[in-house]
Amino acid sequence: MSGLELKNIVKNFGSVEVIRDVSLAVNDGEFVAFVGPSGCGKSTLLRLIAGLDKPTGGNIVIDGNDVTDITAADRGLAMVFQSYALYPHMSVRENLAFGLENTKVAKAEIEARIADAARMLEIEPFLQRRPGQLSGGQRQRVAIGRAIVRRPDAFLLDEPLSNLDAELRVSMRTELAALHARLKATMIYVTHDQVEAMTLADRIVVLRGGRIEQVGTPLELYNKPANRFVAGFIGAPH
Ligand code: ADP
Ligand code: MG
């Protein structure tokens, strides 16, 4: 497999250029963090990769196939949002199963995947509860579980921990790292928290005003920031 490639991606909303000629190659299995200040285009870029929105220009290639005109459902990706986006009237189990019903996945296989994800995320005791009966951290685990059961080639996570309190954010960080190690799936992780990016990512993409300022490993960005903006954002001496 050859990962994911963004080629000269442009996105305009009306006359406003929100993503300006972004090119990036993400390796299969890599954990890449998109960081940058609020409004720099992180969520927009993730939505373009997910297929929830169409680029104005450029191409998106997944495993060697151009998916620019392919629907979200056919891209083999799963997205996790900051707001969980769980169905409040369904149990946790039903939320986990929802994306797999009406697919080719057999019933027994759906059950096996739910059991596996529930074990991995330690949400087994809550399978019969509704999301409203769970804490924020438990809900976010369910949201991640819903992505896991789909067995996607890549996970797209948009600030998944930012609604959680500080202590929980730190413990969930460790869980995400363990999950990545176990699943070996590509993860693209949007965060405005540079500590999260530095601890989790193989490579960090620093965005500003819809452009990439720098791409590198946490150490490269820390030791050799391309400019004062990157240094300031990463918290490196400059
Ligand atoms: P980030 O996730 O980095 O905070 P976003 O990708 O959400 O940034 O937004 C980037 C810019 O695009 C912002 O200026 C935002 O107002 C604008 N934007 C995002 N979505 C839309 C939309 N659907 N219509 C118009 N402008 C949008
Ligand atoms: Mg955002």
Sequence-distant (≥ 6) Cβ neighbours of residue 19 within 8 angstroms: 9, 10, 11, 41, 44, 45, 48, 55, 210
- Ligand 1 within 6 A of CB of 38: yes
Per-residue pLDDT, 146: 93
Hey, which of 44, 81, 82, 189 would you mutate to test ligand 1's pocket, going by the most ligand atoms within 8 Å of its Cβ? Answer: 44
Identify any residues that bridge with 77 across adjacent strands, giving them in sequence order: 154
Per-residue pLDDT, 220: 96
Give the pTM: 0.92
Q: How far is ligand 2, taken at its centre, from the CA of residue 62, in Å?
A: 23
10-39 residue pLDDT tens: 999 999 999 999 999 999 999 999 999 999
Sequence-distant (≥ 6) Cβ neighbours of residue 216 within 8 angstroms: 203, 204, 224
User: Do the interacting molecules here have an ipTM over 0.85?
Assistant: yes
Report which residue type is found at 200.
Answer: L
Residues 110 and 100 sit within 8 Å (Cβ to Cβ): yes
Q: How far is ligand 1, taken at its centre, from the CA of residue 66, in Å?
A: 25
In this prediction, residues 2-12 reach a mean pLDDT of 94
45 compared with 168, residue with greater pLDDT: 45
Residues 145 and 121 sit within 8 Å (Cβ to Cβ): yes
Per-residue pLDDT, 223: 95
Hey, which of 11, 12, 18 would you mutate to test ligand 1's pocket, going by the most ligand atoms within 8 Å of its Cβ? Answer: 18
Helices 136-148 and 107-121 sit at what angle, rounded to 10 degrees? 140
Sequence-distant (≥ 6) Cβ neighbours of residue 81 within 8 angstroms: 143, 158, 160
Q: How far is ligand 2, taken at its centre, from the CA of residue 106, in Å?
A: 35
In this prediction, residues 189-202 reach a mean pLDDT of 93
131-183 residue pLDDT tens: 999 998 899 999 999 999 998 889 999 999 888 888 888 888 888 899 899 88
Is the pLDDT at 42 greater than 60? The verdict is yes
> Which ligand 1 atom is at minimum distance from the Cα of 159?
2
Instruction: Kindly identify the ligand whose nearest atom is closest to the C-alpha of 41.
Output: 1
Is the pLDDT at 1 greater than 60? The verdict is no
- Ligand 1 within 6 A of CB of 40: yes
Per-residue pLDDT, 226: 96
Phi, psi of 195 (to 5 degrees): -65, -40
User: Would you call 3 helix, strand, or coil by DSSP?
Assistant: coil
Hey, which of 13, 46, 81 would you mutate to test ligand 1's pocket, going by the most ligand atoms within 8 Å of its Cβ? Answer: 13
- Ligand 1 within 6 A of CB of 39: yes
First to last CA, the chain: 39
Mean of the per-residue pLDDT values of the chain = 92
Joined together, the tokens standing for residue 105 give 């996945």
45 compared with 234, residue with greater pLDDT: 45
The model's confidence at residue 238, banded by pLDDT at 50, 70 and 90, is low
Cα–Cα nearest to 157, from 168, 170, 173, 136: 173
Is the pLDDT at 2 greater than 70? The verdict is no
CA distance 145 to 95: 9
CA angle 46, 49, 52 (to 5 degrees): 85
Distances in Å between the Cα of 50 and the Cα atoms of 45, 100, 152 are 9, 18, 11
